[in-house]
Amino acid sequence: MRYRVRIPSRQTGAAGWRHPVRLLSFALALLMATPLLLDACGTSGKPPSGSQNARPGGASYEITVGRVANLGTVLVDGSGMTLYLFMPDNRSSHSTCYGVCAVQWPPVILPQGATAAIAGPGIDPALLSVAPRKGQTAGGLQVNYNGWSLYTWPGDTAPGQATGQGLNNLGGLWYVVSPRGNPVR
DSSP track, 116-162: S-EE-TT--GGGEEEEEPTT--TT-EEEEETTEE-B--TT--STT--
pLDDT tens across 49-95, in order? 333 333 445 688 899 999 999 999 999 999 999 999 999 999 999 99
d(CA 149, CA 89): 7
- Domain ranges, residue 81: 62-184
Does a structural domain hold residue 32? Answer: yes
Question: Which pLDDT band holds residue 179 (cuts at 50, 70, 90)?
Answer: very high
Separation of alpha carbons 174 and 62, rounded Å: 21
- What global pTM score does this model have? 0.69
Q: Is residue 72 part of a domain?
A: yes
- The verdict on 79 and 26 lying in the same domain is no
Does 53 map to a domain?
no
Question: Tens digit of pLDDT for each residue in 87-141?
Answer: 999 999 999 999 999 999 999 999 988 899 999 999 999 999 999 998 765 558 9
